Amino acid sequence: MSAITANGAEFTANGFSGARTRLRLTRRGRVVFTALGALPLVIWAAFSVLGAGAAAADDAFGQTGTSFEYVTVGAGDTLWEIAEAADPGADPRVVIDDIVRLNGLDSSVVEPGQRLALPAVR
């Protein structure tokens, strides 16, 4: 069989039979390899986050909606008075916090004519 030798590597009729070289990845190759490895994790995270919305909206009985009582703020009304009227047996500070979070208020200051959703009475 004939063989050609060049730079210490031997080429034969059947192919290359020289020293093995280490696989070298370029920067772009490493980025692609990492992205392909992380793709299943990203897909799983997306489905987990997007799929959790429907489960979070359902309660234990499978009902998907909650009805709120609404109140329109009058002149001189404060959240403290509204909270005491909404749930007389509860701590007004807790009810005020619920009203602020439920309505997305930046502070506890309300304006006359403002319509507020009240939390369900426990």
Please write the tens of the pLDDT for every residue from 41-85. 999 988 888 776 655 555 555 555 567 889 999 999 999 999 999
Looking at residue 122, its pLDDT comes to 58
Tell me the pairing of strands 115-118 and 3-6: unpaired
pLDDT of residue 47: 84
Regarding pTM above 0.85, the answer is: no
pLDDT band at 91 (very low <50, low <70, confident <90, very high): very high
Dihedral of alpha carbons 79, 81, 85, 90, sign = positive
Cα gap 73→70, rounded to integer Å? 10
Which residue has better confidence, 116 or 68? 116
pLDDT of amino acid 25: 87
Name the band, by pLDDT with cuts 50, 70 and 90, for residue 107.
Answer: confident
* Spatial distance between the Cα atoms of 92 and 54, rounded to a whole number of angstroms: 31
State residue 8's pLDDT score. Answer: 57
* Domain 69-118: which CATH number of 3.30.365.10, 3.40.50.300, 3.10.350.10, 3.40.1280.10: 3.10.350.10
pLDDT tens digits, one per residue of 1-51: 555 555 555 556 665 555 667 788 899 999 999 999 999 999 998 888 877
Q: Residue 70: in which H helix or E strand, if any?
A: strand 69-72
Q: Is 29 helix (H, G, I), strand (E, B) or coil?
A: helix
